[in-house]
Structure 1
Amino acid sequence: MRGTKKSTSPGQHDFVVVANRLPVDRVTGADGTPQWRRSPGGLVTALAPTMQSSGGAWVGWHGGVDEPLDEFDEGGIHQVPVPLSASELRLYYEGFSNATLWPLYHDVIVPPEFHRTWWVAYREVNARFARAAAATAAHGATVWVHDYQLQLVPRMLRDARPDLRIGFFNHIPFPPAELFAQLPWRARILEGLLGADLIGFQRASDTANFLTSVRRFLGVTARKGGVQVPGTSRVSRAETHPISIDAAHIAALAQDPDVRARAVQIRVEMGDPETVLLGVDRLDYTKGIRHRLKAYAELLDDGVVQVGQTGLIQIASPSREKVDSYQQLREEVEGTVGRINGEYDSFAATAVRYLHHSYPVEEMVALYLAADVMLVTPLRDGMNLVAKEYVMARGADGGGRLVLSEFAGAADQLRQAIIVSPHDIDGLKAAIMSGIEMAPPEAKRRMSSMRRTVESHDVNRWSREFLDSLMGNAPGTTEESSA
């Protein structure tokens, strides 16, 4: 499959993004032919203007297996597909990335698995991404590598192209040293990350965890966030750069008449209860869906809330469905929903409306507008952008209440939310009731404050501040000269 046209030859791009996935999805056009459409994610939205103005390139996997593709242009961005075999998808992605690193980095909610075959595949695929980036970047270019699937790429790229300015951003939490110590290849991961000039994290605690691990496992002490890379005169810096959303886009959708009409329709379809609770998550064990359902079921059992007056919508988007722990989670969640509805449903109303689908952003904003109380209660989360989207959707009219886990990165910024530990079921029940019973003036004050925070710290500011910091740290800078 080809793109719209061939771009300039590799090695001519001054700005290169490297991520596990390309910023485009393959879709079927009206005439039945395969086409590419820009992905809706915030990262794409934030970086697209910079890439389009600079003739940037994006290196990533296109989503198919055993299917090499030529480079192509789409949406003003040069696309550089990195092929993966079915075996590599299983070992590198489903295995090491999502059954080793993901649970380890999320506080071992599910025990991580350590297999040398997975590590070998992870190393080989990272090398392939690094080679593609090296062949794409112009001399002295800026390369921005993203997320836990590609932690070895910065060092590999540095070895191949020392002329490059390299940034890395970790979108998920970075674990405490006591947990990171379990990883047999911990030193290799740290050395891989230190190939970057700047390493960005969501929370200050993540940055501190990384620097502690560098000191403990590499024997290198950081000074003001700068790490003197062993064996070189180069300094790699670790900084906190919390990611955000396209706030203006969400706010505009919240004012769209069609979206607002859909929000009214959603409430009618729910039986028009007095209070609509909403949870929106990927179906992932880190998201705390089981804890949330348990708290809601106990509120029903206590008689504090009644079906018909209160209803819960739980969106659980499909996620990593080939991984055993995710299959088990789906069975548990759907079983719990079935038990709650079987016990509390009436002919007129449903206790839990459970939807195992993904939805376009317009439908998500309609759901936000329909919800009186948003439940964002992950057990561990790097940021959680759903919380910020809800604030932007509801903040204009001052409606809505946000119940937010203290273990989500968003809690550092959205301090006016009802902050809760999802492990404390009684506390979670109390937080839900606080949201239901909160007086409108108090809710408006809190939501307006959070909206101002999100508006002033949107995804464009996030990318701009990271890149500005990266550009201020040229390749080969020593600690003394960068101080």
Structure 2
Amino acid sequence: MERREVSRLVVISNRVQSPKASSAGNQGGLAVALLAALREKGGVWFGWSGETVGAFTGAIGLEQADGVATATVDLEPQDVDEYYNGYANRSLWPLFHNRIDLTRFERDFEGGYLRVNRRFATTVRPLIGEGDLVWVHDYHLIPLGRELRRLGLTNRLGFFLHIPWPPSQILMSLPSHEPLVRSLFEYDVVGFHTPDWLDAFLHHVTRHLGAVVGEDGAVTLGDRAIRAIVAPIGIDAGEFETAARSDPARFARDRLHMSATGRSIIVGVDRLDYSKGLPERFASYERFLLRNPDLQGLVLMLQIAPPSREKVDTYRAIRAELDELSGRINGEFADIDWVPIRYVNKGYPRDELAGIYRAARVALVTPLRDGMNLVAKEYVAAQDPDDPGVLILSIFAGAAAQLRDALLVNPYSADEVADAIALALGMPREERVRRWRSLIANIRREDVFWWRDRFIGALEPR
């Protein structure tokens, strides 16, 4: 059979994950997905280096490692303040997570956001060859497609949103929301994790912008037509299952088991962020302890919460709140040989995390609103098939649309989450195995390669 030439892939995101960090096990969920795609398809990953320079030059730093090429550019301090700390993380992030009370609307923020998107477009344009597929990621770079089109780019352009799409009433509180949304129609394909996020987008563009959804699913606004699709991101399930059987994972699992001295372990692993529902989670665990005095001393909760975006005031506030909550709960319930909450503000390599997941009888993945949440999938993949733990999952996590055999809960209800913890701890092995088999089947089937193929298949010219 004649083999068709495969298009090269150009990935563009706010930050670039070095393949060297990948090999050291320090990459996040999105990085795992993109590096896997680039290794198989070839191309380059472009984004901000994380470094600042006195004056923007557009100089590109190139690196080739582990089969992946990366290209990075430095930004000015003002760019970082206005584009990243400002518009992306003080305006768009809280707004898209329904936290309008935390959203800051500053004209300077928006100006910096548009300026950096133009700088990204100008810098990456020479790296894009004829026939390359261009895949832009996340809320930091929504207008990038428009800026690339203004530079004459005619390649197929795709955009994937890794966070929820907000309801219209929330979105319309953002100044200049209309040109931001219209800029998405410069792409050819726009992807979302769940049908809910897609429905919210379609509702907004049809009702408020006059877009039309055709019988073929194309969404037309003026002279532009896009495909808007659901493509839930997955993990490299096979790699994570292997990592759970590695020596570092076994060491981490045994270390946690030994320190727990026979107690049942409940684990939470989240970036320190108000969208993750950590204060509500601590309150739910406290409610569980109050309702189950016979289990006090027999369980412990390990919450791993590496800090992030520490220059943003709301993140400093959530850290202070959790410090106070964990201290109060431990002070109320602890005994001379037991502390109910272990609250750890640092991250761990993926293979060690796999061992921590495997040691835990229960995982609490209870965000208030989350685009997907790959921790839920990693926890399931790390389990012992003969004696798996139980996943408690928020109905407001994107993963809930796929992982229906988790214990699905409303994270705002301390009673509901407390009841789920008790149910999970007492669940018979047969039911745990049945639920796990259903969950792992989905995670293996709709993995990162499935996600990649689904999106790129839609992006490739027909």
Do both proteins adopt the same fold according to a TM-score greater than 0.5, normalized to the shorter chain?
yes
Q: Separation in 2 of the partners of 1:426 and 1:290? A: 14
The runs of 5 or more residues in structure 1 that have no matched partner are 1-12, 28-35, 474-483
Aligned to 1:62: 49
Q: Which of 222, 230, 237 is the matching residue for 1:247?
A: 237
Q: Separation in 2 of the partners of 1:258 and 1:38? A: 11
- TM-score, scaled relative to structure 1: 0.89
Q: For 1:277, what is the secondary structure of its paired residue?
A: strand
Q: Quick check: 1:388 aligned with 2:382? A: no
Q: 1:149 to 1:430 in 2, by over 3 A?
A: same
Q: Separation in 1 of the partners of 2:164 and 2:26? A: 23
Q: 1:48 to 1:332 in 2, by over 3 A?
A: closer
8 Å Cα contact 1:198-1:239 kept in structure 2: yes
8 Å Cα contact 1:404-1:418 kept in structure 2: yes
Aligned to 2:98: 107
Aligned to 1:93: 84
Aligned to 1:476: none
Shifted more, 126-135 versus 374-383: the winner is 126-135
Q: Separation in 2 of the partners of 1:52 and 1:262? A: 29
Q: Separation in 2 of the partners of 1:376 and 1:243? A: 17
Q: For 2:186, what is the secondary structure of its paired residue?
A: coil
CA offset digits 1:236-285 (Å, max 9, x no partner): 11110000111111100122244224212202212331x11111111111
CA offset digits 1:9-68 (Å, max 9, x no partner): xxxx942110001121888xxxxxxxx979623434334355346541111011111176
Q: Separation in 1 of the partners of 2:324 and 2:307? A: 16
Shifted more, 68-77 versus 404-413: the winner is 68-77
**Structure 1 residues 2-151: aligned runs within 5 Å:** 14-24=8-18, 40-48=27-35, 50-52=37-39, 55-66=42-53, 70-75=60-65, 76-108=67-99, 110-151=101-142
Aligned to 1:470: 459
8 Å Cα contact 1:382-1:409 kept in structure 2: yes
Q: Which of 259, 264, 276 is the matching residue for 2:265?
A: 276
**Structure 1 residues 227-266: aligned runs within 5 Å:** 227-230=219-222, 232=223, 234-266=224-256
Aligned to 1:372: 361
* Identity of matched residues, %: 37
Q: Which amino acid aligns with 2:149?
A: R
Offset at 1:229?
Answer: 3.4
The runs of 5 or more residues in structure 2 that have no matched partner are 1-6
Shifted more, 62-71 versus 100-109: the winner is 62-71
Q: Which of 345, 350, 361 is the matching residue for 2:350?
A: 361
8 Å Cα contact 1:395-1:451 kept in structure 2: no
CA offset digits 1:415-441 (Å, max 9, x no partner): 000000011111111111111111111
Q: Separation in 1 of the partners of 2:239 and 2:96? A: 31
8 Å Cα contact 1:42-1:459 kept in structure 2: no
Q: 1:164 to 1:472 in 2, by over 3 A?
A: closer
CA offset digits 1:169-227 (Å, max 9, x no partner): 00000011111111111111112211110000011111111111112332222225422
Q: 1:236 to 1:256 in 2, by over 3 A?
A: same
Aligned to 2:274: 285
Q: Separation in 2 of the partners of 1:287 and 1:49? A: 26
Q: For 1:119, what is the secondary structure of its paired residue?
A: helix
Question: What is the number of equivalent residue pairs in this alignment?
Answer: 451
Q: Which amino acid aligns with 1:134?
A: R
Moved over 6 A (4+): none
Q: Separation in 2 of the partners of 1:242 and 1:319? A: 24
Q: Which amino acid aligns with 1:63?
A: G
Q: For 1:340, what is the secondary structure of its paired residue?
A: helix
8 Å Cα contact 2:158-2:188 kept in structure 1: yes
8 Å Cα contact 1:271-1:349 kept in structure 2: no
CA offset digits 1:89-126 (Å, max 9, x no partner): 11111110011101110012643111111000000001
8 Å Cα contact 2:156-2:461 kept in structure 1: no
Q: Separation in 2 of the partners of 1:335 and 1:388? A: 30
CA offset digits 1:386-422 (Å, max 9, x no partner): 0000111115234100110000011011100000001
Q: Separation in 2 of the partners of 1:314 and 1:255? A: 22
Q: 1:338 to 1:208 in 2, by over 3 A?
A: same
Q: Separation in 2 of the partners of 1:141 and 1:270? A: 52
